[in-house]
């Protein structure tokens, strides 16, 4: 990750700071929160601009990036259930873009799909109301036709948090962790190989990955914790293709939420898999002794075609370090056994079943056509969608505008009911989901969320009417 000299310097500085303070340094920067311009209760009005910027992403280098409000990640949109949201968006990029509010339930014209591109120099207002029961961790990113991957990898992504009026979890320290990866040239510029080169072809095949793993735009930050403390981490995978298998070796995590927010019962796990564009919420327990240290890592996970699998796929990579204060332990907060009810979508009232077949670069044997409608569904009805992955690498399926529940994987019923908008479909496997098309008519995207695959045409259009 870091050059040896730079890494040694940071370790020495970190050790010195621990010796001079009972509380270790917190080097994880939280993304700024968008300033609310409105003074009207339950109205959130913000300005957001996408524009070129020069930022120090990699130590000792300055990189030309594209950024929201001059920041990578962009500022967090922080709202409550029931809020009316107005985003005044300006596109100061040299090409068209959009903002897709990933996972949000809103009108199709506000979804930020490639149908509603904002030209360079253009402006638009995204206006929507946050529904009740939608508390959770979401994110936003560009979704222009054939350029989503490039724009995200240039730095355009940010978090979106929806709070419940009455959060069932106790008031504990919360942290937003936005995961991303990238690859740089020696001069600090973002490395995009010639598409016709071998490296470019591998990027298209695998989805572009980079060796530098960031949390909130930082490499290997330090997160302080106290013995006995419990912290709530909201985690977004904003990587274009990388899948993370998150773990703190030697201890269990409490998994409490996914794409659509909290689920019914907390679950103790040793690791959590988060595919690109997915979100998870975990509770991290300070089980170490005062002054101890631990690593937050991503464990090996094989999502790749064997022919283009990277050499380091089976290695563990550190994402951040946990540093315990030397203060005495505290009594852990009590975590409820039941977090919130999630009613099952009624499977006896299914209007239709649709099949989505993933092959390399294709959905149902076709590439994306902006003038074609691939599926039609009536508003107010419920459908089952079967996603079949016929190839030798994972493909994450994402549906715009509507959340769903997973029924089964390879015919095995899903053990835990959760609200989802993205599901990873492993190589040569199938997943069945159930979705209710509430409220909004219009055109929506469904696609593989490996951004290179999406840009190459692995996407379709759903028309609700």
Tell me the C-alpha to C-alpha distance, in Å, between residue 381 and each of 300, 387, 427, 438.
40, 19, 30, 8
pLDDT confidence of residue 115: 97
The yes-or-no verdict on residue 1 having pLDDT over 70 is: no
Exposure of 189 in the CB half-sphere (CA atoms within 13 A): 4
pLDDT band at residue 19 under the 50/70/90 scheme: very low
Domains and CATH numbers, the chain: 43-163 (2.60.40.420), 170-324 (2.60.40.420), 347-464 (2.60.40.420)
Look over the chain and give the mean of its residue pLDDT values, rounded to a whole number: 94
The yes-or-no verdict on residue 66 having pLDDT over 70 is: yes
pLDDT confidence of residue 24: 80
pLDDT confidence of residue 6: 43
The encoded tokens of residue 228 equal 């006995």
The yes-or-no verdict on residue 4 having pLDDT over 90 is: no
pLDDT band at residue 21 under the 50/70/90 scheme: low
pLDDT band at residue 15 under the 50/70/90 scheme: very low
Q: What is the DSSP string of 219-255?
A: ES-EEEE-TT-EEEEEEEE--SS--EEEE-TTS-EEE
pLDDT band at residue 23 under the 50/70/90 scheme: confident
48-60 mean pLDDT: 95
99-116 mean pLDDT: 98
Q: Which of 323, 275, 317, 321 is nearest to 295 (CA)?
A: 321
pLDDT confidence of residue 135: 98
Q: What is the pLDDT of residues 388-414, one digit of tens each?
A: 999 999 999 999 999 999 999 999 999
The yes-or-no verdict on residue 241 having pLDDT over 50 is: yes
Q: What is the pLDDT of residues 317-353, one digit of tens each?
A: 999 999 999 999 999 999 999 999 999 999 999 999 9
Are residues 183 and 210 in contact, defined by beta-carbon separation less than 8 angstroms?
yes
Instruction: Give the rounded percent of residues in the chain with a pLDDT score beyond 70.
Output: 95
346 contacts: CB under 8 Å, gap ≥ 6: 382
Tell me the C-alpha to C-alpha distance, in Å, between residue 109 and each of 73, 100, 370.
25, 11, 15
A 10 A CB-CB count for 388 gives 16
The encoded tokens of residue 90 equal 């300006």
pLDDT confidence of residue 246: 98
For the question of whether the overall pTM of this predicted structure is more than 0.75, the answer is: yes
416-439 mean pLDDT: 97
The yes-or-no verdict on residue 289 having pLDDT over 90 is: yes
pLDDT confidence of residue 20: 42
């Amino acid at each position: 990750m870091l050059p040896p000299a730079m890494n040694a310097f940071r370790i020495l500085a970190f050790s010195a700071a621990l010796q001079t303070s009972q509380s270790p340094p917190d080097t994880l920067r939280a993304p700024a929160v968008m300033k609310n311009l409105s003074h009207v209760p339950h109205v959130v009005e913000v300005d957001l601009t996408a524009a070129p910027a020069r930022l120090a992403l990699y130590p000792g280098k300055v990189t030309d990036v594209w950024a929201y409000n001059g920041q990578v990640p962009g500022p967090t949109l922080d709202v409550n259930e029931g809020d009316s949201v107005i985003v005044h968006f300006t596109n100061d990029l040299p090409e068209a873009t959009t903002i897709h509010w990933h996972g949000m339930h809103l009108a199709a014209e506000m979804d930020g799909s490639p149908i509603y591109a904002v030209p360079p120099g253009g402006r638009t207002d995204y206006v929507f109301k946050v529904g009740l029961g939608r508390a959770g961790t979401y994110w936003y990113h560009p979704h222009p036709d054939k350029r989503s991957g490039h724009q995200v990898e240039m730095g355009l992504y940010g978090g979106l948090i929806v709070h419940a009026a009455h959060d069932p979890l106790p008031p504990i320290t919360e942290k937003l962790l936005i995961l991303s990866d990238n690859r740089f040239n020696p001069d600090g510029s973002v490395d995009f190989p010639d598409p016709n080169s071998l490296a470019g072809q591998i990027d298209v095949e695998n989805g572009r990955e980079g060796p530098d793993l960031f949390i909130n735009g930082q490499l290997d930050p330090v997160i302080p914790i106290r013995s006995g403390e419990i912290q709530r981490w909201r985690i977004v995978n904003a990587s274009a293709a990388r899948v993370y298998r998150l773990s703190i070796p030697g201890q269990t995590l409490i998994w409490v939420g996914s794409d659509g927010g909290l689920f019914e019962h907390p679950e103790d796990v040793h690791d959590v898999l988060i595919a690109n564009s997915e979100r998870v919420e975990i509770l991290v327990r300070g089980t170490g002794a005062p002054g101890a240290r631990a690593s937050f890592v991503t464990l090996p996970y094989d999502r790749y075609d064997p022919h283009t699998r990277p050499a380091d796929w089976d290695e563990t990579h550190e994402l951040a370090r946990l540093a315990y204060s030397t203060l005495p332990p505290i009594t852990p907060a009590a975590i409820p056994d039941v977090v919130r009810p999630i009613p099952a979508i009624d499977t006896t009232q299914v209007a239709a079943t649709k099949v989505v077949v993933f092959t390399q670069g294709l959905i149902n044997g076709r590439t994306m056509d902006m003038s074609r409608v691939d599926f039609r569904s009536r508003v107010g009805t419920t459908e089952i969608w079967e996603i079949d992955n016929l190839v030798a690498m994972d493909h994450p399926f994402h549906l715009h505008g509507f959340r769903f529940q997973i029924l089964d994987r390879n015919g095995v019923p899903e053990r835990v009911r959760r609200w989802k908008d993205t599901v990873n479909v492993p190589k040569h496997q199938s997943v069945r989901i159930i979705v209710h098309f509430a409220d909004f008519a219009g055109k929506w995207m469904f696609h593989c969320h490996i951004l290179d695959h999406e840009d190459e045409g692995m996407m379709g259009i759903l028309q609700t009417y």
